Amino acid sequence: MRISPRSRSLLKRRSGSAVLRARQPYARTRGDGTLRLGWHPSPAQAVVLAFATVILAGTLLLMLPIAAAGTPATFLQALFTATSAVCVTGLTVVDTATFWSPLGQFIVVALIQLGGFGIMTFVSLIGIGLARKMSLQARLNAAVEVRTVDFDDARGVVSGVLRLTVAIEGGVALLLALSFGLIQGEPPLRAITQGLFHAVSAFNNAGFALFSDNLAGYVSDPTICLPICAAIILGGLGFPALMQIRRYGLNRHGWTITTRMVLLMTPIMLAGGTIGIAINEWDNPGTLGPLPLGAKVLAAFTTSVQTRTAGFNVIDMGALDPATMLGMDALMFIGAGPAGTAGGIKVTTFLVMLAFVYAEVRGTQRLHLMGKRIPQLAMQQAMTVGLLGAGCIGTAVVILSETTDASLDALLFEACSAFGTVGLSANLTPSLPPHAQFIIITLMFVGRLGPVTLGVALARARRPVPYDLPEERPIIG
């Protein structure tokens, strides 16, 4: 095989490239025997392409006449639903309970499970089952998707994710099926179907429901609300935290700092959201006002849990007080734990940002958190994720406010819900014009993958700069 001088030069320059570089070369032989270079997707690009491919496939499946209960879905309706399902968001433009046929509902829940479990993780699982091993590229792809730092243990991570998913979804599905069957009086097959659908939707923080009013009909039923809340919270902790809890129990010495941060912030945000919602909405006739005392507390807690990026609603989101909506915007933007089924910028990112600001105010050069020193790179990444996330939401809200007649607080609520892959809606998304729904679709896609992952996937390969510029410090503040 002959190698052209240009290809030989390129190979020499790129021989030391990092494994996770945004673009990776691979070799192909031309007809004349010379070697030419092609493009091979990096792990970040592979994840983005995998999600986009599954969304497109789901769109085509949902457009089939047999997927709808009546008139077949349009391209926009199918695309929006597929994106919302794969990105485990829960925002809808059609009624899931009545618009889709049983086959369409099965496609939706399959997309939810695939999106929540992780497409590259699922592909890696198939590879393990067929070949009993994972290739290096498969380990890298899975490691990027589940955010593990040790890609050599990717096979163990994938297997652990599968076991946790089956155990939690199975347990919650059983509890819900018993409640639907024994308490709500549903036929056995329908009770099992409803229990399984809502367990998958809850654990994957999706928020899709098989009822036209979502879960508003069960606002005072703890046998429905609490198992769903438990699944949402567990899914929002993230797979690394769940696997460490399973392995070490309550022994904090075995936990990583990520698990400690998640378990610290989760109860704080749940309690803060519950108290804030209860105080603001206690006498609101459109939300908690008409409910008895116990139902008010349950509804406030359930609604707070939904801001963890789930999206089930037990009260009318369109009737919320503007102050409540603003507080929920913040909770949806933060989201839940990393490397799980939740969205948002993640609680770890938010806590690092808070700690960074606190350290700067105190004049501390190094950032210490929970007995550990946080590296400079982590601080830079946290600030980047936070600013990019806020920029995405801000840009979308500006465009939507200029092109629609909706109120600013409703648009901000909808944008935060889409970016945080939450699914709560102020009754606005179905009535948005097509271009606005495409913006919401984009926010869901970016929010599920993360702005940094998407940016790395779209960026060119990093090139070293052989020079530097004179340093000068600007005035800050």
Q: What would the pLDDT profile of 413-461 be if each residue is shown by its tens digit? A: 999 999 998 989 988 998 899 999 999 999 999 888 877 666 555 555 4
pLDDT of residue 368: 85
Whole-angstrom distance, CA of residue 153 vs CA of residue 240: 12
Examine the pLDDT at 35 and tell me if it is beyond 60. Answer: no
Angstrom CA distances, 163 to 117, 144, 188, 228, 243, stand at 11, 20, 26, 19, 10
Q: Three-class SS of residue 39? A: strand
Task: Count the Cβ atoms, other than its own, within 10 Å of residue 296.
Answer: 22
pLDDT band, residue 156 (cuts 50/70/90): low
Query: b/e string for 263-288 if b means 16 or more Cβ within 10 A?
Result: bebbeebbeebbebbbebbeebeebb
Determine what percent of the chain is predicted with pLDDT higher than 90. Answer: 50
Parallel/antiparallel/unpaired status of strands 372-374 and 367-369? antiparallel
The token pair that represents 20 in the structure block: 């996770």
Helix, strand, coil percentages in the chain from 3-state DSSP, rounded to 5: 65, 5, 30
Chain mean position to CA 377: 23
Average pLDDT, the chain: 82
The 8-class DSSP code of residue 40 comes to E
Handedness of CA 71, 73, 77, 81 (dihedral sign): positive
Mean pLDDT, residues 192-197 taken together: 95
Lowest mean pLDDT of 116-130, 292-306, 309-323, 461-475, name the range: 116-130
**Which pLDDT score is estimated for 219?**
94
471/463 Cα distance (integer angstroms): 21
- The answer on pLDDT for 6 being more than 60 is no
Round to whole Å and give the CA distance between 72 and 70. Answer: 6
Task: Say whether pLDDT at 8 is over 50.
Answer: no
pLDDT of 240: 79
Of 272-276, 299-303, 346-350, 365-369, the range with the lowest mean pLDDT is 365-369
Q: Is 41 helix (H, G, I), strand (E, B) or coil?
A: strand
